[in-house]
Structure 1
Amino acid sequence: MHYLLLAGLLALNPFSPPPRAPFVTVAPAGSVEPCRIYGSVFLETNPARRGFCFATVYLEPEEAFADVLVYREDNKLFADKAGFWYLSPGPNFADYVLFVTENRALADFSITYTGVRSFAGCRKQ
């Protein structure tokens, strides 16, 4: 009986602070720096895996409105500057996993593909 009373008293210790719950925050809009993304990139389209992605992108149809002009590299070693992306075959082999959305308002930044290597990179803001 004494052991039960002692265990209950220790469990309800009024002198210890309550356990802290983890605090999860959502990154504010614009906190992702698109000019720092280069290398191997996997574009995720499955909405169920959105929580595992680094950022959300929108594929802009017009080059004039895109934040980043992306040149698709065939070799991962040449994707060494902003705008040069090697599209990885799977998320496990990518440096960045980006979720592709069809709603521009939900995206962190927008991209469009360019066929000219010298045009690739971030737009000056």
Structure 2
Amino acid sequence: MQILFILWMTLLPFLDTPTIAAAPTSVSSTGKNFCQIYGAVYLERDPLYKNTASYLVFLDEEEAFADMVVYRENNKLFADKEGIWYITPNRAFADHILYVTDKRNLADITVHFTDVRSSATCREQ
């Protein structure tokens, strides 16, 4: 019995033991870069489709507290930089689908719409 125990202790370091990999850490809380949202955007308001949206968005009236200041472009072709969105009426033609919530504490990002194209910006957290 002692010989088996000694043999087992000798071979233990050479046995293939499974290792558990650590989970990767993300830079932001959502793990995505919301500054890359531009182009055709569909604003979803139906709670049934909340889980299909990329982000939860709160539309803020104050520019000072918004994560993104967004300019609404009338032409989809010109919505080619961060903070410039073409709000599409059809979900099928959207590059990004965002769910609009009325609760600020549940939102991933806050958005303020501006009338000046040059003031469109993204403020990373």
Q: TM-score range by the shorter chain?
A: 0.7 to 0.9
Structure 1 runs not aligned, ≥5 long: 1-27
CA distance in structure 1 between the aligned counterparts of 2:112 and 2:33, rounded to whole angstroms:
16
CA distance in structure 1 between the aligned counterparts of 2:30 and 2:38, rounded to whole angstroms:
18
Count of residue pairs the alignment pairs up: 98
Is residue 43–residue 99 contact of structure 2 (8 Å, CA) maintained in 1? yes
| TM-score between both structures, scaled by the size of structure 2 | 0.74
Corresponding residue for residue 16 of structure 1: none
How large is the Cα RMSD of the aligned pairs?
Answer: 1.4
Is residue 42–residue 94 contact of structure 1 (8 Å, CA) maintained in 2? yes
Corresponding residue for residue 87 of structure 2: 87
Query: How do residues 34-73 of structure 1 correspond to structure 2 at under 5 angstroms?
Result: 34-73=34-73
Cα deviation, 1:55-105, whole Å, max 9, x if unaligned, reads 110001100000000000000010000000000111111000000000111
In our comparison, the structure showing a higher alpha carbon Rg is 2
1:51 Cα deviation from its structure 2 partner: 1.0
Corresponding residue for residue 25 of structure 1: none
Does the residue aligned with 2:99 lie in a helix, a strand or coil?
A: strand
